[in-house]
Amino acid sequence: MSADTWELPEELRQIQDTVARFMAAEVKPAEDRAPHDAYALPGDVLAGLQAKARAIGLWCVRSPQEHGGAGLSTLGQAVVAEEAAKCRMGAYVPACGAFGADPPNAIWLGTPEQVRKYGVPGVEQGRKIYFAISEASGGADPARSIRSRAVRKGDRYVLNGSKMWITGAEGADWGIVFARTGEQGDRGGITAFIVNGQPKGMTLKAIPVIRSYAPYEITFKDVEVPVEDRLGEEGQGFAICEKWLVEGRIPYAAGTIGIAQAALQIAIDWARERETFKSKLADKQAIQWMVADSEMELRAARLLTWQAAWIAESGRGDLKVASSIAKVVATETAGRVVDRAVQILGGMGVSQELPLERWYRELRIKRIGEGPSEVHRMVLARQLLGTR
Ligand SMILES: Cc1cc2nc3c(=O)[nH]c(=O)nc-3n(C[C@H](O)[C@H](O)[C@H](O)COP(=O)(O)OP(=O)(O)OC[C@H]3O[C@@H](n4cnc5c(N)ncnc54)[C@H](O)[C@@H]3O)c2cc1C
């Protein structure tokens, strides 16, 4: 948003419109042929969509232009994330993968060799790369919970431990793994490593969850990581991790708003057609208020998300707090709005004829992943109360 208007800049309105049209004309018809819970399109279908998306500049929108991405501003990323989420698999696979998957932004903090070896091919291929922080000992407070350990032996580190709930680990080209090189319970004792492929000693086990797209438990047993694959210095891991999480929460929030807005539209269309007790649902105050509350809450969530994006770009404000607020408000709003849409649709709301039941399940994770709501409230409360 520019300083003197509440409108999106013209360039972003055009991108918003382009993505919305691409979703309707290209992504939706392709996804309609896939099973209800699919989280990937057939390879040839996806390749066709990706070629079209690349041709119009919609490729890895969060990655820098000089490395092959679209290099959009944080606000631009939020705008694209909102529209790209408006498909059945959109909660976890925006635009069904048509726009590629950005490598974690932390890779751009790496050495020129790491950027060349991992970052640039990551953008080129646009495949999911995993980011492994959480462990069985707790994901909400990783600085204190991480128990995986990396010990330097000459020109390599030897990694031991395990990670839980890691999305996209299977078949990934590489991932970023956080392990302890210093004292237990010390924020400064964590170091980030790039783990290339699936080296000897690394094993994966799928963890079935509420969504069909299972995350993985990864076990590392004496896995060797060359020193040149350490990302940043020893002890800088937590700062690298926060960069990814804090900036990522803005498009994360925007995506949930997109899903909820699509769910609300389904509910509105249904309420205008469906009759009970001799009148349309749209004529009943109980339904009108659900629709009105949903729209008001979504507008508020969007503005908070866009404000966080503006702080990310301008540096004028506390980005950590703003992105926590956006994440909590957007994910909780989206959960309520989809719940109301399910209610308005009745039995159809929970049937697999429509995307609502899938969105209802998958949005539930959003209040836990990338930091549970309670932790974000704690971040804000600490700032307000001046406590630690
Ligand atoms: C489907 C899925 C995919 C995931 N993908 C990834 C991934 O790709 N990479 C990755 O690293 N992690 C991933 N995660 C892990 C996710 O980030 C963690 O589940 C999350 O951070 C919570 O950690 P936990 O599950 O260990 O819960 P815990 O840390 O044990 O917390 C449990 C609950 O305790 C409460 N709580 C915690 N702290 C506080 C507090 N200060 N005040 C009040 N209440 C509190 C909250 O209600 C929280 O939900 C994924 C999780 C899921 C479910």
Average pLDDT taken over every residue of the chain: 96
What residue owns the CA closest to ligand 1's atom 48?
372
Give yes or no for residue 6 having a pLDDT over 80.
no
Mean pLDDT of 265-293: 98
370 is catalytic: yes
- SS3 string, 104-116, reads CHHHHHCCHHHHH
CA–CA distance, 360 with 91 (Å, rounded to integer): 10
Q: What pLDDT is stored for residue 188 in this prediction?
A: 87
What residue owns the CA closest to ligand 1's atom 41?
375
Residue of 260 and 5 predicted with greater confidence:
260
In the set 234, 247, 370, 374, the catalytic residue is: 370
CA–CA distance, 74 with 86 (Å, rounded to integer): 19
Residue of 87 and 127 predicted with greater confidence:
87
Q: What pLDDT is stored for residue 1 in this prediction?
A: 53
Q: What pLDDT is stored for residue 2 in this prediction?
A: 53
Question: How far is the centre of ligand 1, averaged over its atoms, from the C-alpha of 372 (Å)?
Answer: 6
Please give the share of the chain, as a percent, with pLDDT higher than 90. 95
Mean pLDDT of 240-253: 94
- Provide the pLDDT confidence category of residue 32 given band limits of 50, 70 and 90: very high
Q: Tens digits of per-residue pLDDT, 117-151?
A: 999 999 999 888 999 999 999 999 998 999 999 99
Which is it for the CA torsion 124, 106, 2, 82, positive or negative?
positive
Can you list the domains of the chain with their CATH numbers? 10-125 (1.10.540.10), 130-231 (2.40.110.10), 239-385 (1.20.140.10)
Q: Which residues line ligand 1 (CB under 6 A)?
A: 130-134, 138-140, 165-167, 209, 215, 365, 368-369, 371-372, 374-375, 378
50 within 8 A of 97, measured Cβ to Cβ: yes
Mean pLDDT of 91-97: 98
